[in-house]
Chains A and B, each alone.
Chain A
Amino acid sequence: KAGVTQTPRYLIKTRGQQVTLSCSPISGHRSVSWYQQTPGQGLQFLFEYFSETQRNKGNFPGRFSGRQFSNSRSEMNVSTLELGDSALYLCASSVEGGFNSPLHFGNGTRLTVT
Chain B
Amino acid sequence: GESVGLHLPTLSVQEGDNSIINCAYSNSASDYFIWYKQESGKGPQFIIDIRSNMDKRQGQRVTVLLNKTVKHLSLQIAATQPGDSAVYFCAENWDTGFQKLVFGTGTRLLVSP
Contact = CB atoms under 8 A, between A and B. Distances in A.
Interface residues of B, number: 31
Nearest to B97: A98
Q: Is the interface of A mostly helix, strand, loop or mixed?
A: strand
Contacts of B101: 33, 35, 43, 45, 103
Given A37-B4, A39-B3, A39-B5, A98 B98 contact: yes
Ranked nearest first, the 9 interchain pairs of A and B with the lowest CB-CB distance are A105-B43, A43-B103, A97-B99, A107-B43, A105-B44, A39-B6, A56-B100, A102-B46, A107-B42
A58 B101 CA distance: 10
Given A42-B105, A45-B102, A94-B99, A102 B49 contact: yes
10 contacts: A35-B101, A35-B103, A44-B103, A56-B98, A56-B100, A90-B44, A92-B44, A101-B99, A103-B99, A105-B43
A106 B5 CA distance: 18
Contacts of B4: 37, 39
A18 to B, nearest CB: 24
A63 interface: no
A42 B100 contact: no
Contacts of B95: 56
Nearest to A105: B43
Place the interface of chain A in its size category. 20 to 34
Given A31-B99, A98-B99, A103 B42 contact: no
A13 interface: no
Nearest to B44: A105
A28 to B, nearest CB: 16
B44 A43 contact: yes
A107 B1 CA distance: 13
Contact of B5 (A42, A55, A104): A42
B34 A102 contact: yes
Given A31-B99, A45-B101, 11 more contacts: A42-B103, A42-B105, A42-B106, A43-B89, A43-B91, A90-B43, A92-B99, A98-B99, A99-B51, A106-B43, A107-B42
